[in-house]
Amino acid sequence: MCVSQSVLDYIEPLSDENITVTDTVFADVPVRLYLPKRKSETPRRAVIYLHGGAYFFGSFKQAGFDSLNRRTANKLDAVVVAVDYRLAPQHRSPAQFEDSMAVVKFFFQDEILTKYGVDPTRVCISGDSAGGRLATAVTQQVQNDLEIKHKIKVQALLYPHLQVIDSYLPSLRESENGIVVTRDLAIKLLGLYVSEDKTLPEAMRRNQHMPLESGHLFKFVNWSILLPKKYRKDHVYTEPVFGRTNYSFPALTDVRVSPLLANDSQLQNLPLTYILTCQYDISRDEGLMYVSRLQNVGVQVAHEHIEDGFHGALSYMTRPLYLHLGLRIRDMYISWLDSNL
C-alpha cells in the first residue's frame, strides 16, 4: 500500500533499542512486559494496558496494540504491562475481569513493584473499547477495595464501552451502520458475551432485555439527563422495556459488565480520569455519560472529543494501513499520560 510522505513523517519511528519486550505470566495470565533498558535512579511510572476487541478478538501481540505499548514505554520511559485476558465465547463474563484483576493484584505486590523498579504511586490503568470497559471496572474495584494496599493514580479510557442496559442511546442510533462496528454487530457480540442464549441479542435489539428487578438502575444510564444537550439533539428518551420472557442473566446487572451502574459512593473514590470519545462511534454516549457522572461526584476528568473520530481507530497505526486519526489518538493519549502520570 502506498503511504503518503506526510503520514510517514507523522509516524516518527522510535527505536526499540531503548526497551526490552518479554512475554511472561502474572498470576496464570499471559502478559507482555515492555521494560526500559536505561537505569533509573528513581522508580519509574507504569501503565497496565487492556486491549479492545469486544472480548472476542485481539491480543497483546496484535500489531496496533503492540505498537502503542512500545511507543508508550519509549516515550514515557515507563514499564508497560499488556494483559492477554481470556476471550469469549469460550470464556464469558466475568473471565476477562477476573484475569485483569489478577494481573493488577499481582503487579501491586511490593516485591514485584521493586523487581521492575516501579513507583507504586504512579501506576495507570488504561484500555480501549472493551478494554476501556475492563479498565473502568478494575479501577472501580481497586479504588474501593480496602484490602488492596496500592491504588491507581490515573485511568485512561479510549472510546470505552460502559453499559449493556440501553441499546437505544442516540449514538447507537446515529452510528447504527458504523464504519468499524455496527449496532447489530455490537449487540450480537454483547449477547454472546453474556450468554449462549440466542434469544438475548434479539431482545437487546428491541431494548427489551432487562429483568424486572432492574428498573432502579436505569437512572445511571439515563442519557436524557447525563448527555450534554448537543448530543441529545431531537432524540426522544424512553426507558428500556422489561424483558417479555423470563431472562435470568446476572451479567445484565453486573457492574463489572456495565461500569456505568456504579453508584455515586463508588465513583467518589476514583482517580484522575482521561476519557476520549469519538463522534462516529456507537459507544460515544457511554463515554460522555461517564464524564458527567464522574464530574457530578467531584472526580477530576480530562475529556477529549474527536469530531472526525470513529470506533477502533487505534487499530490503524501499522502496516498495511496508516490513518492520521489513529496516530493522532495515540499521541493525544501518550501526551496526556506524560503530563499526568
Q: What is the pLDDT of residues 55-102, one digit of tens each?
A: 898 898 888 899 999 999 999 999 999 999 999 999 998 999 999 999
pTM of the model: 0.94
Angstrom CA distances, 312 to 4, 162, 220, 259, 277, stand at: 22, 15, 25, 20, 11
- Looking at CATH, the fold of the domain delimited by 7-164+260-339 is given as Rossmann fold (3.40.50)
Residues 262, 158, 121, 152, Cα dihedral to 10°:
20
DSSP 213: G
Question: If you search the block for the grid coordinates 496500592, which residue do you land on?
Answer: 150
The pLDDT value given to residue 250: 83
- For the question of residue 129 being annotated catalytic, the response is yes
**Which residues on adjacent β-strands are paired with residue 278?**
306
The pLDDT value given to residue 321: 73
Catalytic residue among 100, 126, 129, 258: 129
Q: pLDDT category, 20, cuts 50, 70, 90? A: very high
- Sign of the four-CA dihedral 103, 163, 314, 320: positive
Strands ordered across the beta sheet of 301-310 = 19-26, 29-36, 79-83, 44-50, 118-128, 154-158, 272-280, 301-310
Distance of CA 320 to the CA centre of its chain: 25
Amino acid identity for residue 291 in this structure:
V
Angstrom CA distances, 112 to 119, 169, 280, 287, 298, stand at: 11, 42, 41, 33, 33
Which range among 14-28, 45-59, 148-162 has the greatest average pLDDT? 148-162
